[in-house]
């Protein structure tokens, strides 16, 4: 990479150790997840038999380019493992995701899987979730004004995410994202429940007690943390 920071290829290679022939895999979204999809594509080209369920249109496009067979979540029903990145991981292996905008589909696919394996760089490790100051929340556009008021009442100041053209960013589901300003979150599970109780909210970036393993890349070194 131009800034001298190693890419996520080492963590992607380590993630392949979790994959077995014949499995159905959830394919996450973002830089680390894309590195895994590329590594998986090379294995598929060598004869590995797997099927994938993508969490975003971008991931689906990449998987098709690499000739990874794709199926729908409805056809898969239960997945063996989902591989995805994260924006924060705390010592309990709880996670914040959603900076890339695919949080709702990512959570649905992760919840449909026997295991969720997260790939991150060591800079994503935090003492408490919320350390980077942002929690994405996906909302139905019609309910955005209500969600804003209720999020403020919870101490989460919302800001509408904008696309490059200055218009509201739209998720693959056609919804908006409110990026909420947060500090260290003392009770992530409770905050997740409180936000989900707001009418019009479809999901938060809090993935609590979902990750079974986190692959951490530090330089070219890789460590696997297990729940």
Alpha-carbon distance of 203 to 52, in angstroms, equals: 23
E strand spans, the chain: 24-27, 51-54, 79-85, 88-89, 95-96, 113-121, 134-139, 157-160, 176-181, 201-204, 206-207, 213-218, 221-226
Active site (annotated) includes residue 123:
no
Contact between residue 54 and residue 34 where contact means Cβ atoms under 8 Å apart: no
SS3 at position 169: coil
**Of these residues, 61, 65, 106, 186, which one is catalytic?**
106
Instruction: Supply the mean pLDDT for the chain.
Output: 95
Burial 45-84 (b: 16+ CB within 10 A, else e): eeebebbbbbbbebbbebbeebebeeeebeebeebbbbbb
Alpha-carbon distance of 106 to 171, in angstroms, equals: 12
Percent of the chain scoring above 70 in pLDDT: 97
- For 193, other C-beta atoms within 10 Å of its C-beta total 13
Q: Closest Cα partner for 58 from 77, 38, 74, 76?
A: 38
165-209 tens-digit pLDDT: 999 999 999 999 999 999 999 999 999 999 999 999 999 999 999
pLDDT at position 120: 96
Stated pTM of the model: 0.93
Q: Closest Cα partner for 8 from 108, 123, 109, 107?
A: 123
Residue 52 phi/psi, 5-degree rounding, is -120, 150
Q: Closest Cα partner for 99 from 169, 174, 149, 8?
A: 169
Alpha-carbon distance of 86 to 100, in angstroms, equals: 9
What domains does the chain contain, in order, with CATH numbers? 9-126+208-219 (3.40.50.1360), 134-204 (3.30.70.260)
Alpha-carbon distance of 213 to 205, in angstroms, equals: 18
pLDDT at position 58: 96
pLDDT at position 5: 55
70-111 tens-digit pLDDT: 999 999 989 999 999 999 999 999 999 999 999 999 999 999
């Amino acid at each position: 990479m131009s800034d001298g920071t190693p890419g996520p290829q080492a963590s992607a290679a380590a993630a392949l150790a979790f994959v077995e022939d014949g499995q159905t895999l959830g394919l996450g979204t973002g830089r680390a997840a894309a590195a895994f999809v590329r590594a998986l594509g090379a294995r598929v080209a060598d004869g590995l038999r797997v099927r994938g369920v993508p969490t975003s249109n971008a991931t689906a496009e990449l998987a098709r380019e690499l000739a990874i067979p794709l199926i729908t979540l409805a056809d898969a029903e239960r997945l063996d493992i989902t591989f995805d990145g994260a924006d924060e991981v705390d010592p309990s292996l709880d996670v914040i995701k959603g900076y890339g905008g695919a949080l709702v589909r990512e959570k649905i696919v992760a919840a449909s899987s026997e295991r969720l394996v997260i790939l991150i760089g060591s800079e994503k490790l935090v003492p408490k979730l919320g350390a980077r100051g942002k929690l994405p929340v996906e909302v139905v556009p019609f309910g955005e004004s209500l969600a804003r008021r209720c999020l403020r009442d919870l101490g989460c100041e919302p800001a509408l995410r904008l696309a490059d053209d200055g218009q509201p960013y739209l998720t693959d589901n056609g919804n908006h994202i409110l990026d909420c300003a947060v500090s260290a979150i003392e009770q992530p599970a409770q905050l997740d429940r409180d936000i989900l109780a707001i009418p019009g909210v479809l999901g938060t970036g809090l993935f609590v007690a979902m990750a079974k393993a986190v692959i951490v890349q530090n330089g070219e070194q890789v460590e696997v943390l297990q729940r």
